[in-house]
Amino acid sequence: MDNWGCPCLLSVSWLANTESVAACRDRRERPAKDLRPFSVFRIIPYDLIFEEGLDNVIKRHNRLGTATRFAVEAWGLKNCCQKEECFSDTVTAVVVPPYIDSAEIVKHAWKRYNLSLGLGLNKVAGKVFRIGHFGNLNELQLLGCLSGVEMVLKDVGYPVKLGSGVAAAAAYLLNSTPLIPSRI
C-alpha cells in the first residue's frame, strides 16, 4: 500500500488520443489515425511485482530479450541494435531484407494472426519491425509470439525455416528459466 492506501503503482505513459483509442477499443480495432501523444497515468498492481519479486521481474525481462535475440539470429536476420551492451530487455527491433517492407509484416501479423508487432519509426520505418517482450509476459507466451512471427515472415516471402527461431529461443529458455519462486 502507498501513502494513499492504494495497492498500485502509478507510471507515466505516452498514449494516443484517448477518444480515438476508446472508440477503437469499443469496436475492437487498433487506432489508425489521429494519434497525438500525451502523458497519462497508468496503474500497475503492486501484487504482480511483489509476488514475483522485482529482481526476478528484471531477470525475466532479460531472459525473454535474450531468447528473442536468439530467435532473430536463427531466422538469419539482424537486431537493429548492433552493440550487445545496448540490447534492450523490453523490445527487439528486427531488420528485414530490403525487398520486404516491415510495415507489411506488422499489418499482416495483425490481420491474419491477431499478433501485435511494432512498426519501425523515423529513419528505420519500413526497415524494421519490433517484438515487445516486457510486462506480464512469460516464456511460453513469448514462444507463441515468435512462432507467429515465423509464420508471418513465411507469408511475406522471407525464406524462414518454420520452428528455427522458436527452437533457438526454447533451447535457451529451457536452460535458463528457474522454478517459479512462489510455487516452490
Report d(CA 95, CA 93) in Å as an integer.
7
Lowest mean pLDDT among 21-35, 48-62, 120-134, 148-162: 21-35
Q: Rounded mean pLDDT of 143-162? A: 98
Whole-structure pTM value: 0.76
What was the pLDDT predicted at 184?
Answer: 83
First CA to last CA across the chain, in angstroms?
A: 26
Give the β-pairing of 78-79 and 118-119.
unpaired
Report d(CA 110, CA 132) in Å as an integer.
14
What was the pLDDT predicted at 39?
Answer: 42
